[in-house]
Amino acid sequence: MSTPKFIVIEGLEGAGKSTALKAIESYLSEKGISSVVTCREPGGTLMGEAIRSIVKDNTIDEKIDSRTELLLMYASRIQLVENIIKPALADGKWVVCDRFYYSTFAYQGGGRDIDVDIIQNIHDASIGEFKPDLTVYMDIDPKLGLARAAGRGELDRFELEKVEFFERTRDMYLKLVDTSSEMKPVDASQSIENVREQVLQVLEEGALF
């Protein structure tokens, strides 16, 4: 039996991460892996879901400082890593997570322009060396991603940001792809079927088994 792996999906809003997550679950099932834990960030635990509600709330009548947002992302992440992800892997289960720490480097580092060294220090103190075995980065032009997201109705606090915020976020994602060997890009602007095939190709090439 193969060692359980931790797979992450990253990308801007509307890139198709939820759609890819389902494709990955089916793929693992076809490979005979039935014990799969899925999760999302921020969220995935009681504390994490409370943080998710706060950071996505577009009605909060108080400015959320970028540093507060950064720390909330890591508070949610510590809860998820320690209470869900590590125990699942130790129990022989695979884990697939919708977003992980690359989101923080991209959104808070790129989008909010927080010094990456500050994020790295908080990262090291929070989860240290713990990292995914494979990260699928779904690359999309922010305008297209936001148009897809807008099709679902009300926008959250992030989705109300100007397109420039998402352009900075995408630029940071692309820098991360260049420097992180476990981060594999797919072109998420293609059709659902085409993107699914690209994601499965990345999994096949990922030497996961």
Report, in Å, the least distance between residue 149 CB and ligand T5A.
Answer: 4
Looking at the chain, how many residues does it have?
A: 209
Check binding of 135 to ligand T5A (CB under 6 A).
no
Report, in Å, the least distance between residue 50 CB and ligand T5A.
Answer: 14
List 40's β-bridge partners, or say none.
Answer: 98
Check binding of 104 to ligand T5A (CB under 6 A).
yes
Report, in Å, the least distance between residue 114 CB and ligand T5A.
Answer: 11
Nearer to ligand T5A (CB atom), residue 89 or residue 108: 108
Count Cβ atoms within 10 A of the Cβ of residue 144 and give its class: 0-12 exposed, 13-18 middle, 19 or more buried.
Answer: middle
Nearer to ligand T5A (CB atom), residue 32 or residue 153: 153
Helices marked H in 57-141: 66-80, 86-90, 101-103, 116-126
Nearer to ligand T5A (CB atom), residue 16 or residue 185: 16
Binding ligand T5A by CB under 6 A: which of 5, 40, 123, 184?
40
Subset of 143-172 contacting ligand T5A (CB under 6 A): 148-149, 151-152, 158
Check binding of 173 to ligand T5A (CB under 6 A).
no
Nearer to ligand T5A (CB atom), residue 188 or residue 208: 188
Which amino acid appears at position 182 of this protein?
A: E
- Dihedral sign of CA atoms 136, 137, 140, 146 in order: positive
Check binding of 53 to ligand T5A (CB under 6 A).
no
Check binding of 39 to ligand T5A (CB under 6 A).
no
Q: Rounded to an integer, what is the distance from CA 57 to the centroid of its chain?
A: 19
Q: How far apart are CA 75 and CA 198, in angstroms?
A: 33
In 3D space, the residue among 94, 131, 95, 134 whose CA is nearest the CA of residue 3 turns out to be 94
Q: Rounded to an integer, what is the distance from CA 144 to the centroid of its chain?
A: 18
| Residues 176-205, mask of contacts with ligand T5A (x by CB under 6 A) | ---------------xx--x----------
The number of beta carbons lying within 10 Å of the beta carbon of residue 165 is 17
Count Cβ atoms within 10 A of the Cβ of residue 66 and give its class: 0-12 exposed, 13-18 middle, 19 or more buried.
Answer: middle
Binding site for ligand T5A (CB under 6 A): 11, 13-19, 40-42, 73, 99, 103-104, 107-108, 148-149, 151-152, 158, 191-192, 195
